Every structure is written in structure tokens, then in C-alpha cells.
Amino acid sequence: MPLHDIECVNEHRLMAIYKISESSEELLDYLSPDSQDRLLLDSFTNDQKKKEWLSGRIALRYLAHEYGLEYHGVRKDASGKPYLKSHGVEISLSHSFPYVAAILDPHKEVGIDLEQPKAKLLKVAPRFLNERELVDAGEDLRKLCILWCAKEAMYKTFNTKGVIFRENMSVQSFNRESQGILNSSISFRGLKNEYLIKYEDRDDFLIAFNQ
């Protein structure tokens, strides 16, 4: 299977990058999901979505195996956050076809986002960036993508509905490099949570996750 990479991002946390090259039928045979998941898969009308769903679970199964955990599938809590069935570890998933990213931490809440820099980000940037961030990014498409990934990673970590990217999230100005740490925060309902978000520019895609 085309597991692009598994890496240890700190002493406890593992991340997997999966590049999809198989058919959905091949992925389905490899994962062998339970009856509940098969019903969900049967409801998908988009084959690409099915491939992303299956490969994300395969990546998580790789990570679970690295921790000596038996994979029993993925479920979602009331807020929509995924978790490994039968295990109390923290996970997060992201996909931008043909790439899928998965991350697992046995102790700390985690959020990850993977995106490919596309021109549409230039058009939608005012919807997710505040004025300072828009000025800082300018027309730099890869920097816009880093900011989007950082805010998505924060959102998944914070895991609270109602957060507005432009209004409630802030990423401090930075000089774009091949990788870096972003000082970031969410201010929501009178509370302020601060995050260190690591980003990496991997040519084909950009990725970000909380430290």
C-alpha cells in the first residue's frame, strides 16, 4: 500500500501521509470495514470521497499498529470529532486528493490539516483571514495555504462549534520558509486559547498541526 510516510513528530505523536493510487475496491478489500461502516460507504455517491475515507482509516490503522493498538474502526463524537473505537487516544484526519494525513497522540488533543495550494484561495482568503493576515500574506499563494492549514488545525483541536475563522482566530505574522512554528490563538466566548502550530511545505502540499 502506498503509505507515503510515517514520522514521529514528537516523543509521543506519530503522523502518517498516504498517497492514494488504488481503486476504491482495492482500498475496501484492504481495510475490510465493519457492517456499520459499509453502510456509510454505500451511501457515498462520489468515488473520490470514498477513496479518501478509506485511505484515512488505513492510515490510522498503520498508526494504531505502531502503538501496539488493535484497530476496531473510527467513530465520531457528538461534535463530529473522530476517535478510535475502543481506545482513548487523540486523532485527527485531513485530505486533499490524492493525499491523506492522519495523526495520533496518546495524551494531547491534536488537529491536522493538509492542503494543496490552489488559486481559489486568493478569492476566498477574505472569508477566513483578518485584515492584518491578508496584508501579511498578500498574493503569496503558499503563505495563504499555510494560514488556512493553521486555522483548520486550530479549529479541529479546539473542537467547538460556532468559531469563525476570520473573527475568532489569529495567526501572528511570519516569514514563509520550508517549515516553521506559528504563534496562533482562538478568542471565543470570552476565552482565549493559544497554540503553537507547526507547518511544513512539502512541494506537492502543505501541512500544519498543533504542537
Tell me whether the omega of the peptide bond preceding residue 82 falls within 30 degrees of 0, making it cis.
no
Return the CATH class of domain 3-110. alpha beta
- Going by pLDDT thresholds of 50, 70 and 90, the confidence category of residue 79 is confident
| Cell representation of residue 51 | 477513496
Among 35-44, 162-171, 198-207, name the one with the lowest average pLDDT: 35-44
Q: List, for residues 62-77, the tens digit of each pLDDT value.
A: 999 999 999 999 999 8
- The pLDDT confidence band at residue 5, using thresholds 50, 70 and 90, is confident
pLDDT score for 83 = 95
Kindly report the number of other CB atoms within 10 A of residue 76's CB atom.
9
Three-class secondary structure assignment of the chain = CCEEEEEECCCCCEEEEEECCCCHHHHHHHHCCCHHHHHHHHCCCCHHHHHHHHHHHHHHHHHHHHCCCCCCCEEECCCCCEEECCCCCEEEEEEECCEEEEEEECCCCCCEEEECCCCHHHHHHHHHCCHHHHHHHCCCHHHHHHHHHHHHHHHHHHCCCCCCHHHHEEECCCCCCCEEEEEEEEEECCEEEEEEEEEEECCCCEEEEEC
- Whether residue 4 is predicted with pLDDT greater than 80 in this model: the reply is no
Task: Judge if 3-110 and 114-210 fold alike in CATH terms.
Answer: yes
Per-domain boundaries in the chain: 3-110, 114-210
pLDDT digits (tens, 9 = 90+) for 112-163: 999 999 999 999 999 999 999 999 999 999 999 999 999 999 999 999 999 9
Question: Residue 1 pLDDT more than 60?
Answer: no
Annotation: CATH topology of 114-210: Ribosomal Protein L22; Chain A (3.90.470)
Please give the pLDDT value at position 80: 87
